[in-house]
């Protein structure tokens, strides 16, 4: 690499603010583009998590698991204790 002298040096220059292509007010407020409407029927279905028949079937499966000795697991016990602690249940026996 060869250097042949010093190039031209310019003096101090003014600092100017950034230029904007549009004024902020010209853009206007941002309007939402997507909307969702949940029907009354869908809201009713959501509020009812299970029918009496579904509950009976779930309870029957749990009864069968208890009878087979498969229901009481370490994970279920830990989940039950966590839920009780979140609710503030006193565990002193």
Work out the mean pLDDT of the chain and round it to a whole number: 79
pLDDT digits (tens, 9 = 90+) for 45-89: 777 767 788 889 989 999 999 899 888 888 888 998 898 888 886
Ramachandran class of 28: left when φ > 0, alpha when ψ lies in -120 to 50, beta otherwise: left
Is-contact 60 53, C-beta < 8 A?
no
Q: What is the pTM of this model?
A: 0.36
Q: How far apart are CA 41 and CA 29, in angstroms?
A: 34
Would you list the domain boundaries of the chain?
Answer: 50-88
DSSP single-letter state for residue 22: S
- The fraction of the chain above a pLDDT of 70, given in percent, is 74
Going from the C-alpha of 73 to that of each of 14, 60, 67, 77, 78, the distances in angstroms are: 75, 18, 13, 6, 9
């Amino acid at each position: 690499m060869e250097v042949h002298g010093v190039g031209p040096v310019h003096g101090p220059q003014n600092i100017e603010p950034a230029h904007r292509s549009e004024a902020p007010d010209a853009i206007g407020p941002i309007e939402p583009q997507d909307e969702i409407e949940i029907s009354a029927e869908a809201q009713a279905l959501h509020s009812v998590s299970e029918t009496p028949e579904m509950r009976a079937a779930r309870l029957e499966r749990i009864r069968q698991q208890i009878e087979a000795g498969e229901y009481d697991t370490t994970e279920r016990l830990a989940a039950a204790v966590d839920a009780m602690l979140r609710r503030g249940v006193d565990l002193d026996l």
